[in-house]
Structure 1
Amino acid sequence: MTTIAVLGNGRVGGNLATALTRAGHEVTVADRAPGATAAAARTAQIVINATPGASSLDRLVALREELRDKILVDVSNATVDGPDGLPADLIYRGSSLAEQLQEALPDTRVVKTLNTMLYAVMTAPAALTQPPTAFLSGQDPQAKQVARGLLEDLGWHQEWITDLGGIETARAAEAAILFVPHVIRSSGFAPFAISIAR
């Protein structure tokens, strides 16, 4: 059992918290109250960032001490929304939220994953008609191995997980969010994920 703090209690955070609790982990979901967020991060072994990507950097930098020596699993995308509320552009062009977090939090081991799919797929990948792909980006091999274990607990098969390499590879995974509005407009709001076919 691992102690996990999920920062963000929306659809993504709530979905992950429920599934990880069901898998046997001790999970705390932190709301927006600064004290609650800091306390949850301080006592957790792993922190999952499921806060809105546009404000994630400021929120997490404020938790620098609480996140020291922790694994931070970042599942958010930092985007500028269009008039319809769907992602229209990336905030960190030529970079990524994960890279910005790693640079701002050098004593935290950041791993990017689960950001290339609609939230329902994060905890039910086998529900799709073909295997999806979950990508891992991060500097620390051990942290990525821990994240891989969490993915397995969420129903991801090993062969569905692709380690892209260092944290700089997160910019490619984060750019995949720009597919989302076009797919939704074309096919409706049904669960889907980016998949590498071999």
Structure 2
Amino acid sequence: MTTIAVLGNGRVGGNLAQALTRAGHRVTAVDRAPGAAADAAAAAQIVINATPGAGSLERLTALREELRGKILVDVSNATTDGPDGLPADLIHPGSSLAEQLQEALPETHVVKTLNTMLFPVMTAPAALTQAPTVFLSGNDPQAKQTVRELLTDLGWQQDWITDLGGIETARATEAAILFVPHVIRTSGFTPFAISISR
């Protein structure tokens, strides 16, 4: 059993917190209030960033001490929204939120994952008609292995998990968010994920 803090208790954070609790972990889900986030992060072994990506860098940088030496699982995408409220552009072109977090938090092990799908797929990948792919980006091999184990707790099979390499590879998966509004406009909010077929 791992002690996990989920920062952000909206649809994404709430969904992850419930699934990880069912898997046997001790999970605390908190909103964006600085005090609650700091307390939860300080008490956790693993922290999941499920806050809106546009404000994540500032929010998490303020938790530098609480995140020191810990794994930060970043599932957010930093985007600006279009008139319809859907993602329109990247806030960190030529980089990524995950890279910015790792630079700002050098003593934290940032791992990017679960950001290339609609949120229901994060905890129910087998519900799709085709096998989805989930990606891992991060500089620390042991941190990625720990996150890989969390993914299996969420229902991801080992052959659905692809380790892309260092944290710089997160810019590729974060850019995939630009597919999302077009898919939603054509197909609605039916759960989907990016999949690598071999």
> What's the TM-score bracket when you normalise by the shorter of the two chains?
over 0.9
Aligned to 2:51: 51
Equivalent runs, 1:1-198 vs 2, <5 Å: 1-198=1-198
CA offset at residue 45 of structure 1?
A: 0.2
Gaps of 5+ in 1: none
How many equivalent residue pairs? 198
Amino acid at match of 1:109: H
Deviations 1:11-31 (A, max 9, x none): 000000000000000000112
Q: Supply the distance in 2 between the matched residues of 1:146 and 1:133 (Cα, whole angstroms).
A: 18
Deviations 1:153-187 (A, max 9, x none): 00000000000000000000000000000001111
Gaps of 5+ in 2: none
% identical aligned pairs: 84
Q: Supply the distance in 1 between the matched residues of 2:37 and 2:187 (Cα, whole angstroms).
A: 37
CA offset at residue 35 of structure 1?
A: 1.2
Q: Supply the distance in 2 between the matched residues of 1:104 and 1:60 (Cα, whole angstroms).
A: 9
SS in 2 for 1:106: coil
TM-score, normalised on structure 1?
0.99
The alignment's C-alpha RMSD in Å is 0.4
TM-score, normalised on structure 2?
0.99
Amino acid at match of 1:94: G
Runs of 4+ aligned structure 1 residues displaced above 6 Å come to: none
Amino acid at match of 2:39: A
Q: Supply the distance in 2 between the matched residues of 1:83 and 1:196 (Cα, whole angstroms).
A: 31
Deviations 1:21-64 (A, max 9, x none): 00000000112221111000001000000000000000000000
Deviations 1:85-126 (A, max 9, x none): 000100000000000000000000000000000000000000
Counterpart contact for 2:32–2:51, Cα < 8 Å = no
Q: Supply the distance in 2 between the matched residues of 1:132 and 1:37 (Cα, whole angstroms).
A: 31
Q: Supply the distance in 2 between the matched residues of 1:80 and 1:124 (Cα, whole angstroms).
A: 27
